[in-house]
Amino acid sequence: MLILYITRHGETKWNLEGRLQGKGDSPLTEKGIEGAKSTKEKLNGTKISKIYSSPSKRALDTAKYIGLENVEIEEDSRLMEMDMGGWEGRVWFEIGNEYNMFKENPESYIIPRGESLISVKERIENFFVDFLENNKEGNYLIVTHGATLKIIYMYLNNIPLSFYWDVPLPVNNSLSKIIFEGKKVKEFILGETYENYK
């Protein structure tokens, strides 16, 4: 049986301030570090064969703080957060009408100097083609980001990108679980999400 766990990186300084991070970065808070450590407890002794992590420092630090000894951490840029270009480091209300345009047409909007949801979906699809080709059984863990995790959920459940804002955002250090039957998803259990995200 092939099982994939996915966690969102720990809380960061910019998360606390409500700033968009994208491919930018900010350090984990103490809460983020403790949350990462608690992920090991959530895995409840599950033997993990390998960790795939976004190369962003907040994700890699989370992977290291999870503390799975003798488990390889493989960096994969396809698991990075959506590139938010000129929005990075800013809060939503500073973006104004551009944010409204993204809300109204998520499937076609391209963030200025950034990335589209289509682009994120393409790299996620590419990752899973390789992942399912190379891993037939065992337990694996992905450490990634909020928007990326949403797109993973949508891609594996065949949800159109136009419904992006209807999919809840997983909280930091949430733990999702996917059970595969061959290359098909048998069950996708999304981890804890924010209740008032939309």
User: What tens digit of pLDDT does each residue of 77-103 get?
Assistant: 999 999 999 999 999 889 989 999 999
**Can you give the C-alpha Rg of the chain in angstroms?**
16
- Is 9 catalytic? The answer is yes
- Is 145 catalytic? The answer is no
CA angle 28, 111, 89 (to 5 degrees): 30
Taking phi over 0 as left and psi of -120 to 50 as alpha, with beta for the rest, 138 belongs to left
- Catalytic pick from 9, 11, 88, 145? 9
Q: What does the alpha-carbon distance between residue 130 and residue 133 come to, in Å, rounded to a whole number? A: 5
Give the pLDDT confidence score for residue 92 in this predicted structure. Answer: 87
Residue type (1 letter), 71: V
Give the pLDDT confidence score for residue 37 in this predicted structure. Answer: 96
Total number of residues shown for the chain: 198
Give the pLDDT confidence score for residue 196 in this predicted structure. Answer: 45
- Catalytic pick from 11, 41, 81, 181? 81
Average pLDDT, the chain: 95
Q: Are 14 and 60 in contact (CB under 8 A)?
A: no
Q: What does the alpha-carbon distance between residue 5 and residue 101 come to, in Å, rounded to a whole number? A: 33
A 10 A CB-CB count for 45 gives 6
Q: What does pTM read for this prediction? A: 0.95
User: What tens digit of pLDDT does each residue of 1-27 get?
Assistant: 999 999 999 999 999 999 999 999 999
DSSP letter at 27 equals: P
